[in-house]
Copies of this chain bind each other. A is one copy, B any other.
Amino acid sequence: MTQIAMKRKKTRPVFLGGVKVGGNAPVVVQSMTSTDTRNVISTVGQIRMLEDAGCEIVRVAVPDREAAGVLADIKKQITIPLIADIHFHYQLALDAIARGVDGIRINPGNIRKDKMVRIARAAKSRGTVIRLGVNSGSLEKDLLKKYGCPTSQALVESALRNLAVVRDAGFDDIKISVKSSDVLTMVEAYRELSEKTDCPLHLGVTEAGSILNAAIKSSVGMGILLYEGIGDTIRVSVTGDPVSEIGVAYGILRALNVRRVGPDIISCPTCGRCEIDLSGLAREVEEKLKGMKSYLKIALMGCVVNGPGEAAEADVGIAGGRGSGLLFKKGKVIRKVREKDFVESLLREIGTMTVGEKEA
């Protein structure tokens, strides 16, 4: 009964290595390492964990020339496109481009226009993509003064005038982000920006906090935008392990049927009607299916009110009663199962479902 997703706004695609962002490409999930970039072993290790979790583009901080110096070394040990995150020093951007990164993110709030032109020319010669990464915490001083604080209009003005700078330099492989730590500001900024440019947009709520708060803010902000067809790549910013960002990102995309990756677990809030340990069941099933990329709708239901209905709509499901439950598959009851056998029975059925449930 999943409804179809909204029509996506058409953008002019860019290519990061083999990954297309924008145009008719799927919304790309990305993240950023939290390691010291100069520590190649730990950085590559974290990138590989991100790759395993489903991350499709990765960004690393480049705070100094030593960090820029290891980018080629990192790149050759990973399989997803590598982005260098640059602030303040244009020379670091030139270094990163020379090291062969797939893209750079520059912050127009802390890099001068004439330096941006030099970066754009270097990027053009190497086929490097540039993201103009505007951020509420580091907006140009004149815009802060003009608007009083980082409003959505200020973020959009920064994006558009810097877009003009790099475009005037003959450069066109551009993505844009206008992140704010305030969800409404971010929503309004992206909506306005998307009317004024056909550049692919990288969505994010910046500094969104620890995992649960980040999930809430990112889901609200990106959810509104994606529902309106806005957004070509997303990053959920979590204070903590970046690997946790990936599950949240796919959860948002799955909720709106923008992409169907991973298990979709439907489980009830276990009210006074519930006579099985549903919380435990949900936790165990989630744990066992961690890392699963195929889309599958799994219903874990505690009673007869909505249990049979939800289980029948799912690919596989349990409608629990007292100490036992009915096992459903593709809308049909397969058999009655004892509570202690729930997990094993579900996993056996899921194991037999491999055709037609891959990512849409």
Contacts and interface: CB of A to CB of B under 8 A. Distances in A.
A271 B138 contact: no
Q: Give the one of A61, A138, A224 with max B CB within 10 A.
A: A224
A309 B268 CA distance: 42
A209 B266 contact: yes
A299 B137 CA distance: 11
Contacts of A1: 136, 149-151, 180, 182, 185
Given A35-B272, A310-B137, A239 B227 contact: no
Interface in A99-122: 107, 110
A265 B224 contact: no
A44 to B, nearest CB: 13
Nearest to A183: B255
Interface string A1-43: 1111100000000000000000000000000111111100001
A181 B266 contact: yes
Interface string A299-313: 111000111111001
For chain A, which range describes its interface: under 10, 10 to 19, 20 to 34, or 35 or more residues? 35 or more
Contact of A299 (B85, B207, B216, B269): B207
A94 interface: no
Nearest to A248: B216
Interface stretch (A159-167, A273-281, A333-341, A351-359): A273-281
B33 A272 contact: yes
Interface string A173-188: 0000000111111011
A267 interface: yes
16 contacts: A5-B184, A34-B270, A60-B272, A87-B305, A137-B305, A137-B308, A187-B227, A207-B269, A210-B265, A210-B286, A212-B212, A212-B251, A215-B219, A219-B219, A223-B223, A239-B300
A130 interface: no
A158 interface: no
Interface in A182-219: 182-185, 187-188, 206-213, 215-217, 219
B252 A216 contact: yes
B2 A185 contact: yes
A182 B3 contact: yes
Interface of A: 1-5, 32-38, 43, 60-63, 67, 85, 87-88, 107, 110, 135-139, 149-152, 180-185, 187-188, 206-213, 215-217, 219-221, 223-224, 227, 237-240, 242, 245, 247-248, 251-252, 255-257, 265-274, 278-279, 282-283, 286, 299-301, 305-310, 313
A188 B3 contact: yes
A2 B184 contact: yes
A174 B60 CA distance: 54
A238 B211 CA distance: 16
A174 B305 CA distance: 22
A61 to B, nearest CB: 3
B207 A137 contact: no
Nearest to A32: B271
Contacts of A210: 265, 267, 279, 282-283, 286
B150 A309 contact: yes
